[in-house]
Structure 1
Amino acid sequence: MEWTGAKYADGPTAEVETWIDASPRRVWEIVTDVESMPQMSSELQSANWLDAAGPAVGSAFVGTNSHPALGEWSTTSYVVECDPERVFAWAVQDPDNPTATWRFTLRDRDGGTQLRQWVRMGPGRSGLSQAIDQMPDKEEKIVFVRMREFETAMTATVAAIKQRAESAGDR
């Protein structure tokens, strides 16, 4: 992974992918349904659109997360890319200086969908920045552990999306 030995300011990334035996249309319905995403995530506890627009560039949603070491927190995320059945991405807190940017990429492949989930940490300060401030000599380890957690969680999320999409009757 690109994040080995990375510092927060490096904007480390993690990425996972899977092939899903369902159409991009069906997978798109799932990845853009942010209110159902907590059912597929161990950290995300709830997510709600702030406006009726739903998945569209500029629309926003609030997500509440929980982590054993970091506690519970809520953030507002802004959709920064929305290309139906292809790309759905959001920036956390500030679209111009996000604490993280998340992206789902869908590609029609072999009668199904290649789904990729990607995250980039920073460049804006996050809760992790506070831990780094307290232990600057451990920054690379702190970033490594968090990126590893992201990778593990994302692997579970795309597996849950795959399961949901493949079990649906309207693939």
Structure 2
Amino acid sequence: MKWTGAHYTDKPTVEVRTWIDAPPERVWALVCDIGLMPGMSEELRSVEWLDGATGPAVGARFLGRSKHPAFGEWATTSYVIEYEPGRVFAWAVQDPAEPSAVWRFRLHTGGGGTELSQWMQMGPGRSGLSVAIDRMPEKEQKIVFVRMREFEHNMTVTLEHIKRLAEAR
């Protein structure tokens, strides 16, 4: 795990990695199936492609619905901003020019398996966390820290699910 940033304006990031004893094609198929993601997440409730898209491609959009005990329920539209089959799948949440978050899966192959990483950047665009920071600016660093730790935990769980599915086939 690698974590950076202390303030929202720092655009903090977190990255989690795992080694999967499975060929990259198998891992890639799981990473690109956004319909699997709600079953791997404590927050994400549903995901659906928009505009007739059936899978990732640069410019494709999808709607995600989430729920969190402190933030309630919300929906966001994400835009695929990077897509290299077998290697990288990334999306920006809300406005691609000023996203509230950017998420990325990256695969590296070798040694008879696949290294999978999931990375995310908070901000620079406003998000639900911005509202909490606006209400308690003196607690910004703690708010950001706690949320980044939640992301780290959820990403670790997601990668564990993908690893289990890929290695079971």
The TM-score bracket by the shorter chain reads over 0.9
One-letter identity of the residue aligned with 1:150: F
Partner of 1:41: 41
Q: Any stretches of 5+ residues in structure 1 without a counterpart?
A: none
Deviation at 1:65, TM superposition (A): 0.6
Asked if structure 2 preserves the Cα contact closer than 8 Å seen for 1:35 and 1:49, the reply is: no
Deviation for aligned residue 1:54:
1.4
Secondary structure at the aligned position of 1:2 is classed as: strand
Matched, 1:73 2:89: no
The one-letter code of the counterpart of 2:164 is: Q
Note if 1:54 corresponds to 2:55: yes
Q: Equivalent residue of 1:65, what SS?
A: strand
In the alignment, residue 16 of structure 1 is paired with which amino acid? Answer: V
- The separation in 1 between residues aligned to 2:98 and 2:53, in whole angstroms, is 25
Normalized against structure 1, the TM-score is what?
0.95
Q: Where does structure 2 lack aligned partners over 5 or more consecutive residues?
A: none
The superposition leaves residues 37-60 of structure 1 with CA deviations (integer Å, 9 ceiling, x where unpaired) of 111111111000012241100001
TM-score (norm 2): 0.96
Encode CA deviations 1:91-110: one digit per residue, 9 max, x unaligned: 00011110000000001021
Deviations 1:80-126 (A, max 9, x none): 00000100000000111100000000010211100000000000000
Q: 2:53·2:61 contact (CA, 8 Å) conserved in 1? A: no
Give the SS at the match of 1:88: strand
CA RMSD of aligned residues (A): 1.0
Aligned equivalents of 1:78, 1:49: Cα separation in 2: 10
> Which segment is superposed worse, 44-53 or 78-87?
44-53
Q: Distance in 2 between matches of 1:52 and 1:8?
A: 32
Q: Residues 17-166 of structure 1 correspond to what in structure 2 (within 5 A)?
A: 17-50=17-50, 51-166=52-167
Deviation at 1:36, TM superposition (A): 1.4
Whether contact under 8 Å (1:3, 1:147) holds in the other structure is: no
How many residue pairs align between the two structures? 167
* % identical equivalent positions: 62
**C-alpha distance in structure 1 between counterparts of 2:75 and 2:126, whole Å:** 15
- What is the DSSP-based 3-state SS (H/G/I as helix, E as strand, rest coil) of the residue aligned with 2:34? coil
The secondary structure found in structure 1 opposite 2:102 is strand
Counterpart residue identity of residue 20, structure 2: I
